[in-house]
């Protein structure tokens, strides 16, 4: 298990790429979070699963993310939403790992399930249908 630096654990940043982005259906989970801005990550690739995207730790040309500063309560809520299991992260739908953003290290939820056959997004943003 990857343990982030103490500063990250105290004031975690989260990079979101799907339905948690501003204006989309799950953004209400972040309404109490501080929006820091947008960034482009080359450390992950998106897969379009239909109702939501999935990120995998694969190099890309740059996927668009929004970065938020959250507290422990908000992060715990996101963990529930994404089925991230702290003690057994590979067993849930998502794992969460630190990725570098222009705002500092941020958690990124990475999909644990199979993505074979789904459309790949190696650059830009996922758009809801």
Residue 54: inside a domain: yes
User: Which residues share a beta bridge with 54?
Assistant: 47
Helix ranges (H only) for 1-129 are: 6-10, 72-81
Residue 66: inside a domain: yes
Edge-first strand listing for the sheet containing 45-48 = 53-56, 45-48, 120-121
Choice among 1-15, 41-55, 111-125 with the minimum mean pLDDT: 1-15
Residue 129: inside a domain: no
Range of the domain at 101: 8-124
User: Which residues share a beta bridge with 99?
Assistant: 106
Residue 2: inside a domain: no
**What is the reported pLDDT for 10?**
56
Give this prediction's pTM. 0.89
Residue 48: inside a domain: yes
Catalytic residues: 82
Question: What digits encode the pLDDT tens for the residues 79-118?
Answer: 999 999 988 888 999 999 999 999 999 999 999 999 999 9
What CATH number has the domain bearing residue 116? 3.10.490.10
Choice among 8-12, 66-70, 74-78, 84-88 with the minimum mean pLDDT: 8-12
What span, in angstroms and rounded, lies between the C-alpha atoms of 84 and 36? 23
What total of structural domains would you count in the chain? 1
């Amino acid at each position: 298990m990857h343990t982030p630096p103490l500063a990250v654990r105290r004031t975690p940043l989260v990079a979101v790429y799907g339905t948690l982005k501003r204006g989309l259906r799950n953004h209400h989970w972040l309404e109490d979070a501080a929006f820091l801005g947008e960034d482009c990550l080359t450390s992950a690739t998106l897969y379009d699963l239909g109702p939501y995207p999935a990120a995998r730790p694969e190099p890309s040309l740059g996927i668009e993310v929004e970065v938020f500063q959250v507290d422990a309560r908000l992060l715990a809520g996101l963990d529930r939403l994404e089925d991230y299991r702290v003690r057994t992260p590979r067993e849930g739908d998502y794992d969460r790992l630190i990725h570098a953003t222009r705002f500092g290290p941020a958690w990124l939820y990475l999909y644990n399930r199979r993505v074979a056959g789904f459309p790949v997004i190696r650059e830009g943003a996922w758009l809801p249908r």
